[in-house]
Amino acid sequence: MKISFVNGCFDVLHPGHIEMLKYARSSGDYLIVAIDSDRKVEEMKGPERPIFPQHDRALMLKAIRYVDVVHIFDTKTELEELLESIKPDTMVVGSDWKGKTVIGEQHTNKLMFFDRIGNYSTTNILEWKNYQK
């Protein structure tokens, strides 16, 4: 069985997230999604985030047919340890990470990049900037 892995905030789900999850699942038989804890999202995005608490985000992700399991992590160390224990066959990250260090990339056989779909981003949606239906 080939395991795929993806991680992120997944704060406000949008079509870009769904397409990324579909893409990640297409590279394996089993998709593991790791989401940032509420504390970590607030630290990265500011005091108004997350919009949905971690358990709601996990519940919504688990309901998507491409997702098999969801983990919540609170620190970079926890994410690294999770990847070390899973050792996924593929890890999918946004193409904005090309040329940058990706946490845990040494624990996967293949790092794959996903190009953003249109102008979809949680930040844009929340600010109603550059949002195209």
pLDDT by residue for the chain (133 residues), tens digit each?
A: 999 999 999 998 888 899 999 999 999 999 999 999 999 999 999 999 999 999 999 999 999 999 999 999 999 999 999 999 999 999 999 888 888 999 999 999 999 999 876 666 666 666 665 444 4
pLDDT at 115: 85
The owner of tokens 């990847």 is 83
For the record, the structure tokens of 31 come out as 């998709």
pLDDT at 105: 95
pLDDT at 116: 76
Instruction: Enter the tokens of residue 13.
Output: 């789900």
Query: Rounded to 5 degrees, what are φ and ψ at 125?
Result: -65, -45
Which regions of 1-133 does DSSP assign to beta strands (E)?
Answer: 3-8, 30-36, 69-73, 90-94, 110-114
Which one, of 54, 55, 69, lies nearest residue 21 by Cα?
69
Query: Which residues are 72's β-sheet partners?
Result: 35
